[in-house]
Amino acid sequence: MSQNPDVSPTSHDDGQRLSDSPSELVGLRRGAGRVARKLKRRLSALWSHADRRLSMWASGSTLGSRLYYAFWNSAFGREQQAVLRGRAQYASDLANPKETSVRLRRNCHRLEKGLLMVPRREVFAAEYIGETVDSYCTIGRHCDVEQDELSPEMQWAYDVLSKYFQVVVDTPPIAEARKKFEQAAKLVRCPPGECVPYQRDLSGEPRVSIVDLISLAKRRRSVRWFLPRPVPREMIDAAIEVAGQSPSACNRQPFQFRIFDDPELVQRVVQLPMGTAGYGHNIPVMVVLIGQQRNYFDERDRHLIYIDGSLATMGFVYALEAQGLSSCCINWPDIESREAALGELLGLSGDERAVMCLAVGYPDPEGLVAYSQKKPLGQLRRYNFE
């Protein structure tokens, strides 16, 4: 005889009337689920309410905001750790420089500024010439002078230091640095080069007119639909060459373009940021722009990876466009689980942070782009106190 599961009772040892009929169980589960969801919503609303009140209070003072982020909200945790890791890495790179020395780059830049000053001072850079020569010597000790081709950075450093010592008037620290440099230069044996301040040849017109530049800027749009066509690496490299000419604070260039053009890897990278929904599957190349906090010894410079990285990205984007390629910048969200996944996939060090991602490829001529109305000139600028 078939029983209606909704009405057939089941006896249990404790005598309570509980049913194990499927629909009652489903009903019970649904009920429990509803209660749990309601509770979760309540808790979440309570949390949001408390957070709103606390954040309003905390925003009123430096101490308040410090406490808020120290004990209540850990959103800046990875950022803070990256800055500290960067400082530690900076210190360790001073003793064991790898392919580049941040201090040498920064100080050569400062020396070049001193050299091109009008009027040029007779004595300058006395407070940091010692450490600059020390960095030069440390790298010199690390290169095999018989075999290594001298890096462009070392050539630049040699030329700038040579020029500096030609023109500067000695004070005790400068004289001491001069002696050290002359000894090191005998060992490192740099041929004299021309990597010193120079006058640019401005006799002709620039090859790119403002009309061309405006037309390129107006042609560029964020493209999300691409042809299934491989992108030649030479074109990406040419775009990075343009990006590499961008200005950066003290010429440190604290970034690296990580490029993925293997289809399987591209799809793994595509999943990491949040902004690729709906079109991620058709992206031929993914770029992740990484900033390296190891370029700084102080928190005051912690934003430069984002500034310098973004300036370089703009050059990269225009250079792609000039070659018939297109791109779409993709936001990198600072969400711990995504940060951890990106760090693991790319093998990032603790001081390395994603600045943004970019989708790159040949645009599909049939794909639409957003109109993206731009702000008029009057809203984008103010002269003086207009």
Ligand X SMILES: Cc1cc2nc3c(=O)[nH]c(=O)nc-3n(C[C@H](O)[C@H](O)[C@H](O)COP(=O)(O)O)c2cc1C
Binding mask 245-274 for ligand X (x = CB under 6 A): ----------------------------x-
Shortest CB 273 distance to ligand X, Å: 6
Of the candidate spans 88-96, 192-200, 216-224, 248-256, the one that interacts with ligand X by CB under 6 A turns out to be 216-224
**CA–CA dist 341, 164 (Å, integer):** 47
Closest CA to 266 of 253, 279, 252: 279
Nearer of residues 202 and 370 to ligand X, judged by Cβ: 370
Q: Which C-beta is closer to ligand X: that of 95 or that of 370?
A: 370
Rounded to whole angstroms, the Cα distance separating 157 from 136 reads 7
In the chain, helix, strand, coil percent, each to 5? 55, 10, 40
Burial class (CB in 10 A: 0-12, 13-18, 19+), 92: exposed
The SS3 of residue 258 is: strand
Tell me, what DSSP letter sits at residue 363?
Answer: B
Touching ligand X, residues 274-313 (CB under 6 A): 275
Three-state DSSP class for residue 229:
coil
Residue 147 found at the interface with ligand X (CB under 6 A):
no
Find the binder of ligand X among 115, 185, 270, 330 (CB under 6 A). Answer: 330
Q: Which stretch binds ligand X (CB under 6 A): 107-115, 174-182, 191-199, 323-331?
A: 323-331
Output 115 or 289, the one with its CB closest to ligand X: 289
Contact between 202 and ligand X per CB under 6 A:
no
320 binds ligand X, rule: CB under 6 A: no
List the interface residues with ligand X, window 351-370 (CB under 6 A): 356, 369-370
**Which CB, 133 or 285, lies closer to ligand X?**
285
Q: How far apart are CA 311 and CA 221, in angstroms?
A: 17
* Residue 222 binds to ligand X (criterion: CB under 6 A): yes
Buried/exposed code over 199-223 (b: 16+ C-beta within 10 A; e: otherwise):
eeeeeeeeeeeeeeeeeeeeebbeb
Binding stretches for ligand X (CB under 6 A): 221-222, 224, 273, 275, 328-331, 356, 369-370, 372
